[in-house]
Amino acid sequence: MTNRPTLSVIVPCYNIRYYLADTVSSLVSNDRDDFEFIFVEDRSSKDDTYEALLDMSKRLRNSRVIRHETNQGLATARNTGIDVAEGRFLTFLDGDDWLAPGYLPQLVDAIERHDVDFVRTDHVQVTGTERRVHRAPEGRRDTPLDPRGSILPTDDTTMVDYPYAWAGIYHRRLLDRDLLRFHDGLRTAEDRPWIWALHRKADSYAVASLHGVFYRRGIATSLTQIGDVRQLDFIRSFELVLQELASDPDVADLRPKAIRNYCVVIAHHLRERERFERRVATRLKELSAEALRRIPENELQAALAGMDDQRKRTLHRIRGGMKEALV
C-alpha cells in the first residue's frame, strides 16, 4: 500500500490453531484494500498456530505475521501490534474470536461519522451453542459523549466495567497521548487500567449498536478457564488503576468506583478458587488479603455497601480485622 491504511486490525494469537480457520475466514469477509491485518503469534507452546497463520493469512490482501521469541502475554502481544500498525484507526480481535461479515466497514463508518477519539460497541457472547448479546452499559447511542461522564455512578455498571478492547475502534491520535498501549507483562485483566485511562483522558467517544464481535467463552485455552498463576495478575492490574487515579483531579469521586470494582473481582476469584491449582489458590488468598488491608477501612466499608451478603462475608473473612459489614 502506498497510502496509510484506514484500519489496522491487531490479532494476538496463542495456542488457538483449532479456532484459527473461523477467525481468518471472518476477517476475509471484512477485507478491504485499505485495511491491514497484523497477527502477533505469542510463541505458542501446544500447537502449530504460527505455521497455520503463515498459510491462512495469505487469504487477506494486506497482512503480516509477527512472532515473539518468547511468550510474553496478551498485553505485550497487543503492544507489538500497536507498534507496527500504520492505520488511521486501530481495532483488536482475539485469535479465538470472530467477526460478522461487513462488521469492520461499519465500525470505520461509525468513528468517521461521529468524529470521536473512540467508539465502543456491543458484542455477542458465545458459550457452546448459546449466543447472547451483551450491550455496552452506556444507554446513549450514536452521539458524541464525554468519556469521563461514563465512569460513574459507583454502585452501577458503567463503561469502565466493560473493558473489552476488541469491542471498539480507536483513532490513531490516541497513540500520541499514550492511551492505546497496555501495561507490558499483564497476562490477565490487562484491559482494566487501559479502559480507565481511556475514559479519564480521552476527549470524546460514542457507543454504536453493532453486534459484530463474537466472543467465545468457556473454551479450554481461555485464561478465564485456566487456574494457574497468570490469573493473579488482576491484583497488579487493579493496583495500577488505583496508582494512576491518585493524580487525577477527581480522585475523590472516582476512587470509590475503582475500589468497588476491585472488591467485586477479588470476591469473584475467591468464590471460584476451586478451579485454581492449590498453591495458586493459597497465593490468591494471601494477595487478596494484602490488597484489602491496603484499602482504608472506611473506604472498604463504603465499597461493600449494597453488595450481596455472600460477597461481604467472603471479603470480610479474607481481610480479617474488619468491623461487621453486613449492614
Q: For residue 325, what pLDDT is reported?
A: 43
Domain final residue, candidates 177, 204, 224 = 224
**DSSP code string of 51-113:** HHHHHHGGGSSSEEEEE-SS---HHHHHHHHHHH---SEEEE--TT-EE-TTHHHHHHHHHHH
Percentage of the chain exceeding pLDDT 90: 90
127 and 160 together in one domain: yes
198 and 185 together in one domain: yes
Query: Helix, strand, coil: what percent of the chain each, to 5?
Result: 45, 15, 40
55 and 177 together in one domain: yes
19 and 75 together in one domain: yes
63 and 154 together in one domain: yes
Residue 139 confidence (pLDDT) above 70: yes
Q: For residue 320, what pLDDT is reported?
A: 85
46: confidence class by pLDDT, cuts 50, 70, 90: very high
Q: Specify the residue for cell string 476451586.
A: 274
For the chain, how many residues are written? 327
Domain final residue, candidates 190, 224, 258 = 224
Residue 222 confidence (pLDDT) above 80: no
Q: Residue 153: is the preceding peptide bond cis (ω within 30°)?
A: yes
- Residues paired with residue 207 on neighbouring β-strands, in sequence order: 120
Residue 195 confidence (pLDDT) above 70: yes
Choose among 63, 68, 56, 61: nearest CA to 25: 56
219: confidence class by pLDDT, cuts 50, 70, 90: low
204 and 261 together in one domain: no
Residue 1 confidence (pLDDT) above 80: no
Residue 159 confidence (pLDDT) above 90: yes
Flag whether 98 is in a domain.
yes
Q: Total structural domains in the chain?
A: 2
Separation between Cα atoms, residue 178 and residue 175, nearest integer Å: 5
Domain final residue, candidates 164, 191, 224 = 224
Rounded mean pLDDT of 194-218?
96
Q: For residue 69, what pLDDT is reported?
A: 97
pTM over 0.85: yes
Contact 30, 105 (CB under 8 A): yes
167 and 253 together in one domain: no
Q: For residue 284, what pLDDT is reported?
A: 95
Query: Which domain covers residue 142, as residue numbers?
Result: 7-224
165 and 248 together in one domain: no
283 and 177 together in one domain: no
Rounded mean pLDDT of 141-159?
97
138 and 92 together in one domain: yes
105 and 249 together in one domain: no
Flag whether 324 is in a domain.
no
Question: Which residues of the chain form beta strands (DSSP E)?
Answer: 7-13, 35-41, 63-67, 89-92, 98-99, 118-121, 123-127, 130-134, 168-171, 205-208, 213-217
Flag whether 283 is in a domain.
yes
Separation between Cα atoms, residue 131 and residue 80, nearest integer Å: 31
Separation between Cα atoms, residue 290 and residue 287, nearest integer Å: 5
Flag whether 327 is in a domain.
no
Residue 227 confidence (pLDDT) above 80: no
Residue 279 confidence (pLDDT) above 70: yes
Question: Which tens digits make up the pLDDT trace of 71-110?
Answer: 999 999 999 999 999 999 999 999 999 999 999 999 999 9
Flag whether 326 is in a domain.
no
Flag whether 88 is in a domain.
yes
Residue 224 confidence (pLDDT) above 50: no
Choose among 223, 311, 227: nearest CA to 261: 311
Separation between Cα atoms, residue 73 and residue 91, nearest integer Å: 18
**How many CB atoms are located within 10 Å of the residue 54 CB?**
14
Q: Can you say whether residue 320 is alpha, beta or left, with left for phi > 0 and alpha for psi between -120 and 50 degrees?
A: left
Rounded mean pLDDT of 138-164?
97
Residue 174 confidence (pLDDT) above 80: yes
Q: Which residues are within 8 A (CB) of 1 and not within 5 positions of it... i.e. 6 or more apart?
A: 33, 34, 36, 62
Flag whether 325 is in a domain.
no
We report the CATH number of the domain holding residue 71 as 3.90.550.10
Flag whether 217 is in a domain.
yes
203 and 73 together in one domain: yes
Q: For residue 228, what pLDDT is reported?
A: 77
